[in-house]
């Protein structure tokens, strides 16, 4: 319960505070307005739909890769970490929305115009802890997500920030939903077998 509360607070923090340094950087260097930073004029159905579709498909693809026997030997499996939080479906959707909005405004809108798509993508995945030279097995997660981040970073140049937000949201939502459902079923099986 305490871990769930902490992760939900982290979600709120990501949503509310991550965009601020991205916007301030763009404003101080390029004089970008708040409206332009959030790309309000580009809030259209096509890039959002494409982003949702791309994230949805890649989320399932990543999940299938994470089911490989190799991942049984990883000390901290992502699904076990999610399971330990005892999250519900709506928590997963909320956290996906927070990450999609907060992280994409910071990294794609705030940092990528200066570092470029390649460095920003590697920086993004490394900050999540998925590129860890001291734990190469855990870094395999990074190798799964890195192509996805590369593609949404490139998509930012063609489709705008709302494509990136939608893709990030749906990728996370797919993984959260599957892992939360899996954890719920495992708990029910454990409770039934303990009777």
> DSSP letter string over 60-122?
HHHHHHHTSGGGGG-SS-HHHHHHHTT--HHHHHHHHHHHHHHHHIIIIIIIHHHHHHHHHHH
3-state secondary structure of 149: helix
Q: Name the region of 43 (left: φ>0; alpha: ψ -120 to 50; beta: rest).
A: beta
- Position 192 pLDDT exceeds 60: no
Q: Which 8-state DSSP code applies to residue 128? A: T
Percentage of the chain exceeding pLDDT 90: 71
Domain residues for the domain of 163 are: 2-186
State the residue for tokens 């994409």: 104
Residue 77, token pair as written in the block: 């499996």
CB 131 within 8 A of CB 125: yes
Q: Residue 87 contacts by C-beta under 8 Å, 6 or more apart in sequence?
A: 4, 7, 95, 176, 180, 183
CA distance 191 to 194: 5
- Ranges 17-31, 79-93, 178-192: which has the least confidence: 178-192
In a domain, 192, yes or no: no
Task: Report whether pLDDT(70) > 90.
Answer: no
Residue 128 included in any domain: yes
pLDDT confidence of residue 185: 67
Q: Is the pLDDT of residue 49 over 90?
A: yes
Average pLDDT, the chain: 91
Rounded average pLDDT over 76-86: 75
Q: Is residue 163 part of a domain?
A: yes
Calculate what percentage of the chain has a pLDDT beyond 70: 92
Query: What total number of domains does the chain contain?
Result: 1
The CB density around residue 184, as the number of other CB atoms within 10 Å, is 15
Determine the average pLDDT of the residues in 116-142.
Answer: 90
Q: Judge whether residue 190 has pLDDT over 60.
A: no
Q: Is residue 154 part of a domain?
A: yes
Residue 113 lies in a domain: yes
Q: What pLDDT sits at residue 186?
A: 62
The crossing angle, in degrees rounded to 10, of helices 19-30 and 2-17 is 20
Q: What is the pLDDT of residues 136-182, one digit of tens each?
A: 878 888 999 999 999 999 999 999 999 999 999 999 999 999 999 88
Gap between the Cα atoms of 124 and 111, Å rounded: 10
Q: pTM score, two decimals?
A: 0.91
What would the mean pLDDT of 2-23 be, rounded to a whole number? 95
């Amino acid at each position: 319960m305490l871990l769930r509360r902490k992760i939900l607070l982290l979600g709120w923090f990501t949503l509310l505070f991550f965009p601020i340094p991205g916007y301030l950087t763009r404003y101080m260097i390029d004089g970008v307005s708040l409206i332009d930073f959030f790309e309000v004029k580009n809030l259209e159905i096509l890039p959002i739909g494409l982003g949702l579709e791309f994230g949805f498909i890649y989320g399932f693809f990543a999940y299938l890769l994470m089911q490989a026997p190799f991942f049984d030997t990883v000390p901290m499996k992502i699904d076990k970490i999610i399971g330990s939080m005892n999250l519900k479906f709506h928590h997963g959707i909320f956290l996906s929305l927070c990450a999609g909005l907060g992280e994409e405004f910071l990294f794609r809108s705030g940092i990528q115009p200066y570092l470029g798509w390649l460095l920003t993508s590697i920086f993004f995945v490394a900050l999540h802890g998925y590129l860890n030279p001291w734990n190469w097995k855990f870094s395999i997660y990074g190798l799964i997500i890195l192509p996805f981040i590369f593609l949404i970073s490139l998509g930012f140049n063609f489709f705008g920030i709302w494509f990136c937000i939608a893709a990030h949201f749906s990728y996370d939502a797919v993984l959260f939903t599957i892992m939360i459902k899996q954890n719920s079923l495992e708990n029910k099986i454990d409770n039934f077998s303990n009777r």
